[in-house]
Amino acid sequence: MGFYVNVVAKKSCVKQINTAWKKRFDGFLIYTKEIIKSEIDYIHNNKDCKHLRYIKTIEDWNDTFSILKEYSGQVFLRAYGYDEERQKEFQKEQTVLKEQIKFLLEHRFLFEKITGLQDAVSVFPDLEIDYDYIENGRNKNYFNPTFDKLPQPHQSKVFKRCLELNNPELWYNFLQLKENPNDFNLFDNLAHTIINPNKGLGETILQRVELIQRVVEGLSENLSTISYYMKNKKVPTLFEIRKVISLNQEEFDEYINSLRNSNKKSA
């Protein structure tokens, strides 16, 4: 018994988490199939683990160690009731443990769940952790996004485009909207991002979705009015937003032309 912080990783982010963890602290944080198989081999080749030899498969492991099952991990902070000698050892460990908690907070968008931060506050009263972190493990405010702290699905066209633009904030705001696709405030954060700096004063995401709407509805493309989306607090579909972010200028022009041609045929 003691104090712990438990985590569950997003499945697509396990390798990213363990790579970053190893660089900073050595070892691993998240259990994978390979790591669990290694643990099972150890159990069956160590005479001190005879009582655990009923564990033969990954499923057996997951059922036995639910907190350390696949995609999960744990930071052990300290046990209850240390004697004086162990307390001195713990004092030396505090710096690393605090850094590990900071790592979890910095990379929190790579996790499905972080629990036990209240234990971290109990063990380290001087460690300032926002209440929202403690409440749900993921606070979307006060975050300076960098690519290494966010999911990196390399098959995603939107992600690739954000990399090309060197704009982690755009990727972060898109992920936020993807989780809550009807949230106008999240769209507003994204809408004014410049997606093509070489066009005029810089073409924004909002300008592109407005152009799509005008072409689809057969409106004047040069009409200068208050934004339909801003005026009505409407959020474009994720399909449209993916399009305007992922396409470079040449590809976007081709897409708009295809919409124009489609309108001509149906007229």
pLDDT of residue 200: 64
Mean pLDDT calculated for residue range 179-203: 84
pLDDT of residue 139: 46
Task: Please state the length of the chain.
Answer: 267
Mean pLDDT calculated for residue range 165-183: 91
**With 50 as the cut, is the pLDDT of residue 109 above it?**
yes
What mean pLDDT value characterizes the chain?
Answer: 84
Separation CA 125–CA 134 (nearest Å): 14
Helices 238-246 and 249-266 pack at an angle, to 10 degrees, of 130
For residues 160 and 246, is the Cβ–Cβ distance under 8 A?
Answer: yes
Q: What is the pLDDT of residues 193-217, one digit of tens each?
A: 888 877 766 688 988 888 888 888 7
pLDDT of residue 178: 92
pLDDT of residue 37: 96
Mean pLDDT calculated for residue range 72-97: 74
Mean pLDDT calculated for residue range 169-192: 90
17: exposed, middle or buried (Cβ count in 10 Å: 0-12, 13-18, 19+)? buried
The three-state secondary structure class of 3 is strand
Q: Where residue 266 falls among pLDDT bands split at 50, 70, 90? A: low
Q: Supply the pTM of this predicted model.
A: 0.65
Separation CA 255–CA 253 (nearest Å): 5
pLDDT of residue 90: 64
Higher-pLDDT residue of 227, 23: 23
Q: What is the pLDDT of residues 231-264, one digit of tens each?
A: 888 899 999 999 999 998 889 889 988 888 887 7
